[in-house]
Structure 1
Amino acid sequence: MTADGFDPESMAIRPGATVVWKNVDEKVHSLEIIAGETRGEPVMISPGETYSYRFPDDGPREFMYFDAENGKSGQLTTGAQQASTADRPRVDFTDARSGISDASLNRGTITGVEIVQELRALRISVDVPGYDVLQLTIDRNLLDARASGKDMPFSIRAGSSALSYDETGADPESRSLRVTVPAGTESIIIRGNAVAAEPLGYQSAYSTLNEAASVIASYKAKGVVTGEADDLLLQATDAAYLGKYHFATDLAGEAIEAAHRADRIAVVANTVMNEAETSIMATKTLGGDVSQAEELLDHTKEVYSYGGYEEALNLANYARDAATTKINPFLIVAAIGMSAAAVLYVLYRRLPGAGKAPAQESVVQDDGSNLQSVFVEKPHLREDDRMVLKYIVDRGGEALLAEIRNKFGLPKSTAWRLMRRLEREELVEITKFGNQNMVRYKLKPEAHQ
């Protein structure tokens, strides 16, 4: 969405696809989706923000999208006139993983490569002002010409004219070609008898894109602001459109993780905000000054509403601490003294052989102060890393990896990457516990007594 309207103004998509609009202007724009006589509720989109919408999968339909702020509209079609991306997978010829390598022209420029599945061919778009030579190596899994286990010639044409070529190399994985290109040629068709998009990472990219769109939509339905995930999904969609399918898969995976992370931190931030509110009420009841804490909490709620969950979590902690420190110190001492006495008595009664000389403890648990010093020394730790570490410490310094995954709703791959990060920081160690993985917090030397 721009100051001048939509870019593009019209597009075609597969039924059931999700479309993301992004406001790249400096002012707020509105978006209204229209299907025949049915008009949707206008959605206001702030500068830099995105809005996603999943279209129905019930066959060919036409939609309009309208921006009342500048009176501009666009058109979208699903079904019969759907986008050609499914039929024309693009090949990122700059990436050797795409199945094409060493692609070059002596003087001209290669502007694009795509698969033409119905022809079992590659279409190579070129800009050649004069006579030129195209050289490239093609992975057999991408395109090949074989019969009875033997290599057959490719059919190479520019328009209606056949082009001559030399095969400069062949091995079990690929074939290398040197093609003569006449001046003024715009596209070259290299046709074989077998073509496939799998080596491009095409199917994986669109599968992950659809998963990311679904995950993000589910969190949006819960009211979670998924700005970072939206941006990553938009980048992934752009990468897929350009044929950078491996890159698109990575970005879509990051979008999924960003959405999960936003939800997790939103839950924790909301919990701490509630704790801060409770502390403020308690302190106010005891006659403490909570004006600073209330101001912090108001700002926290504002930041939270915009989706700044990590910042909101930090601010909520400050607000809670600000409220707590304003409680009358004599009341604090009395409360702590009574609580400590009660806890010590209960622990004493539970000890086997209470009243006898205590045995020397072999393990010293972290009371939390050591963990706080770790956070100070390692400010680069991610918020989800900190949350997991605190969970492990709160459980006595160890937890099964499966328990951690269930607690924070982490996919296996995400949980394992998180553990590896903490291992590299020398904060945890992972050991086998039966057929499961046990994660133990590594106490710093100064924590031992």
Structure 2
Amino acid sequence: MGQVVTPESLSLRIYSDGSVDIEYSVEPDPTQAQVNVTLFGAGYQDIIVVDQDGIILDWTINAGGIGVDSLGSSSVIVSYSTDSLTNKTGSQWTVSITSPVDTIFTLPIGAVLVGLSPSPRGISIIDNQAFISMPAGTSRISYLIGTAGTREHAIALLNNAKADVNDVLEQGIIIDEAEAYLAQAITAYQNEQYIQSEQYSTHASASARETLSLAASALNKINAAKSIIDAKRSQISDDIIAQAEDFLDQAETNYVQGNYSAGLESAEEAYSLVSGAPINQSGNQTLLIAGGILVVLVAAGYWYMSQRDTEQILQKPDTQQPDIDLDEVFRKNPHLRTDDKAILRMLEETGGAFITEIRGRFDIPKSSAWRMARRLEDDGLISVSKVGRETYLQLKEQEEEQ
């Protein structure tokens, strides 16, 4: 009997006729002669199995899947087609699967997403095609297929976006970006600009769902941080507890204001600070107090000197702001988070900003601001430079597509 394995990765590409191409990889024991791979669905077609070098492997059908002759293989990639994972009721299609790992769904081009469960890990819309990342477990996605650019297709997308936005708003979640997209979709539809309306509607739905998922993650981490602070309050130093509570206050403030990404980061800071703190040792209290006073004095002195120096040199460089269409940047970078976009808008308005100005505008901790700057710099969207002791950010000229 061969080794039984589960997928390391799983992706589904769905076509307009309901057929589905499935591809996933497994990592067998190279010393085993055969590995048993479970296949999803029924009525398998066009089964292809290759190893890590692309060499085709022999296989045989068995109960619930296939047995692959995998001796010497460290990775096995299985691909096949099936039409048993989708069903159609009226004009609505539904695809469902139960997977032990996260799954990537690629919907047909122009498909209108009308429902999904549970909340996705992420949704990207590229050239009118939806890419959805769903967590392990049972996933169910419903969608419509129509002719893009028509009144009927646009109204279906618009109604779906309205339902998504209202559903999230009813849960008390702030979704300014999604509401703005929805307003643009309505205006475009009223002006009979159906393609633009479809695009805005799709962005509204995706933004609403992503924000809902982010808000849930932030709230869970805030509650976890509260619990660990209460549990370790008497076991670790008062200074660490105070710092953690400051981060927790920032997290709760950001959450209430709808800045869920910053709220999540601050809650993670609070949790990490407490979970990694050393337990108090008896007899060290005097040393801890003296050390704490010394740290405060040194920090205060450093802060005073840095503030004095900053006041002397805090003058923006005399550089020209590049002419950049941020809406086009957002379209080409669907992975950008809501706070990333807000900061890029600020840089567009101001022509550039010091990182301290960004922290002040959005009320975020230094660590979050630094992570944001590195993230946007890695994406090639901003330039980062030093002006004295300060870090200066500016939009970066985008290369033209060939």
Higher relative contact order (CA 8 A, sep 6+): 2
Which structure: larger Rg?
1
Q: TM-score, normalised by structure 2?
A: 0.32
